[in-house]
Structures are given as C-alpha cells and as structure tokens.
Amino acid sequence: MTSDAGALLARAGCAWYAAMLSEAGLGEAELAEALSGGQESLAAALAEAGVTDPRHVAAIAAQAEQLRAPAGACGAPSPAFSFGGAYSPSFLSAVAPLYSQHMGCENMGPLLYTLTRFCKPGSCLELGGGYTSLFLLQALADNAAEIARAEEAAQHFTATAAVPWLAPEVDAGKCATAQLHVVDTCVHSHSTAGGVASIAASLALSPHLAFHAADAFHPDLPSTLQGPRLFDLIWLDVGAGTRLAELVQGWWPRLDPRGGIMAVHSTLTNQAGRSWLRAVQRAQAQAVLVECADEIDSEAAAALPLGFFEVISLLEPHKRFQNSVTLLRRRGGGAGGGALFKEPIYSKLP
C-alpha cells in the first residue's frame, strides 16, 4: 500500500473503515486510481474491502476525486463530515456555462455555499436565479449527507463520550428534504436562470430545486410560495435598484425570526444600495436600544421596522460594481415577529 487511507476516511466521516481498507491494501493512491475507472470501479474496489453502504461509497469517492484533481483545481481536501462538493472538478465544470462576469458572482457562489453549509437551512429562497443557484443546491445536498454521516458517527462515539456531540435540536429530516425555491422571470438580458434546472438535473440536485418563473415584485406568486411558509435563508439578487427597500420589506415577514438570514447583493458602492443600507442601520440602532433595556417592552418591540436583527456588509475591494453583500439575521420583534430569539446555551464553559 503506497499511502494510508486513514486521513481520507476521516475527512469522509468514515474513519471506522480504516482497518478494513488497510487489510485490503487500499490506500489514498489506490482509491484515486480505482476512481480513474469511474464510480463503479471505485465502488467495486470498496465492496471487496467490505464497504457497501452507498452513502459511505459516495463520501469516500468525493474525497478520492479531490486527490485526482490537478493542483489548485479544487483546493485542499474537505474536512471530516464534509463533502465539499462545490469544489470538485465535476461540479465546477458543470456550472461554468452559467457564469457571467456581469453578474459578479464568482465569489458570491462559494460564499453562499459556505454560508448554507454552515447554517443548515431547511427552506431557501433565491430571488434571481443563475450561477449561484447551483452552489446553493449543492450545499443543500452536502448538508443532507453531512448530517446523515454525523448522526451515524455519533452512534460510534456514544459509548465513550460523556456529552453528546450533536445538538438535541438537530433535524436530519429537515436537511434531507431541504429545498431552494428560485424565483426568476428569465427575461433579463444577462440572465442565466434558464439553465439552472437542466444543470441541476445533471448533478442529481433536482430533488432540492423548486423553480418558479415569476416576478419577485408581483403579488400573484405561485401558491407554493404563498401562505405561512418561512424561509431560513433568502438570497436577493434581482437588481431592484430604487425598489430595494420595497422588495426587502415585502419578503422580510417570510424570513424565519429565529435566526433566518437574508443576503442582499450589491449594496455598498451604488446610491440606491447605500440609501437602503443607511435606513437599515438606523432601524438596527433603534432595535439595539430596545433590546438593551432592562425589560423589553412588547409594544416597543412590535413597533420596530424590521424587529430585532443583526447586520454586516462585506466588500470585494477589487471590483467597481456587483462587489458587495449585506447579511441581515432576523431575531424576532417587529410586526408578527414574536419575542426576541436567543440561541440555546449548551455549555457552562465561558
């Protein structure tokens, strides 16, 4: 065996197979070589070693594929429990036709992927589809796989761990059925939204996609977007211009007040975005005053324009336009927002 597969298995969340692969003579080099013959070739080699679970085979394949990639093609191997699918050569090749320099999402796609992987949303909304849609979809698929493997690994740790590793609120079903609702009219001259569905299908991401050919401003939206549905993540990228405040205000009540995140593209270096952001910052300052009171007055909390929320803006300093994003994290209050959301405390450590 030319190299040990232990590190690769750890990154795939399948460390317990190390002894089996070692006995079968399968190291990192051998796994990468087997994958060069295709997924079926790798699956056959793993089956001979006793690894037959499709989820584990897929996880190991994702890590082995990164070993085969040219230097710099997809970065460092993914950490344990993480697929890192958005950085595989096959994914990047598939989504390349949707990239448009005019849309300015070469860094937004990976940023949204990482944000989605971190926050594990169950229901996402994208206003203005295209290149970033695939990064969001891949993140949802990777989340489902990560949670499934983390739950399985947690069972192996139960006997020795004094404290459960997974939070009691973890909902594997939420990740498994997570969906991205994409709203786009597909009429913008630079739009690449029309190619989202076909590429999603080629990457086996269709189960996580719901595409709506509609106008984000139009009140007569599809029934699947109406009603009490709340979104954990809303990505707003429709070029709203002077109507940005209207668009945000219209969708804000649909953002989960228990930590839901709204990401708004291009807010810092254009007059319309800057004007909207100033109003948001004033609303945040007002909310902070209410939250810092000894006792939060319910009427004062309900009267807040956006309720309680956090805000941060990021700038891509090397670009003149489409170069920024503002993240708003909703935490209750405001009309229909309920009480202030507070994260649970799991540890007594500082």
What CATH number should be reported for the domain holding residue 309?
A: 3.40.50.150
Looking at the structure, tell me whether residues 230 and 266 fall in a common domain: yes
Residue 323 belongs to a domain: yes
Neighbours of 29 (CB within 10 A): 15
Mean pLDDT of the residues in the chain: 85
Of 39-53, 130-144, 148-162, 301-315, which range is least confident?
Answer: 148-162
State the pLDDT at residue 68: 59
Distance of CA 132 to the CA centre of its chain: 10
**Sequence-separated (6 or more) residues with CB below 8 Å from residue 272:** 240, 241, 242, 244
Dump pLDDT digits (tens) for 162-195. Answer: 667 778 878 888 999 999 999 988 766 566 777 8
10 Å CB burial of residue 276 (0-12, 13-18, 19+) is buried
Tell whether 302 is covered by a domain: yes
Higher-confidence residue of 55 and 300: namely 300
Number of domains the chain is built from:
2
Whether 166 is covered by a domain: the verdict is: yes
What domain range is 47 assigned to?
Answer: 6-68
Query: What are the phi and psi torsion angles at 85 (to 5°)?
Result: -60, -25
Do 173 and 38 share a structural domain? no
Residues 110 and 50 in one domain: no
Do 167 and 99 lie in a common domain?
A: yes
Q: Are 175 and 120 in contact (CB under 8 A)?
A: yes
228 vs 282 pLDDT, higher one: 282
Tokens matching residue 6: 């232990």
Following DSSP, what letter does each residue of 161-221 receive, concatenated? -SS-SS-TT--HHHHHT-EEEEE--S-STT--GGGHHHHHHHTT-GGGEEEE-S-TT-S--
Q: Is 335 within the bounds of a domain?
A: no
Residue 194: predicted pLDDT: 78
d(CA 120, CA 256): 13
Domain match, 251 and 105 both:
yes
- Residues 195, 145, single domain; the answer is yes
Q: What is the mean pLDDT of residues 223-230?
A: 69
Verify that 93 and 197 share a domain, yes or no: yes
Per-residue confidence (pLDDT) for residue 6, from 0 to 100: 82
Two tokens, residue 112 = 């949204």
Last residue of a domain, one of 24, 42, 68: 68
Place of tokens 């939206």: 221
What tens digit of pLDDT does each residue of 21-44 get? 988 889 888 898 888 887 788 999
Q: What percentage of residues in the chain have a pLDDT greater than 70?
A: 85
Whether 28 and 90 map to the same domain: the answer is no
DSSP assigned state of 50: T
Give the residue with greater pLDDT, 7 vs 105.
105
Residues 178 and 29 in one domain: no
In this structure, the answer to whether residues 103 and 59 fall within a common structural domain is no
**pTM as predicted:** 0.77
Q: What is the mean pLDDT of residues 140-168?
A: 75
Indicate whether 119 and 48 sit together in one domain: no
Instruction: Please name which of 100, 96, 103 lies closest in space to residue 321, comparing C-alpha atoms.
Output: 103
Mention every residue, 6+ apart, whose C-beta is less than 8 A from residue 182.
126, 129, 133, 193, 196, 209, 210, 211, 212
Q: Residue 168: its pLDDT value, please?
A: 80
For the cut 80, the answer to whether the pLDDT of residue 196 exceeds it is yes
Same domain, yes or no: 150 and 252:
yes
Domain membership of residue 209 (yes or no) is: yes
pLDDT reading at 110 higher than 80: yes
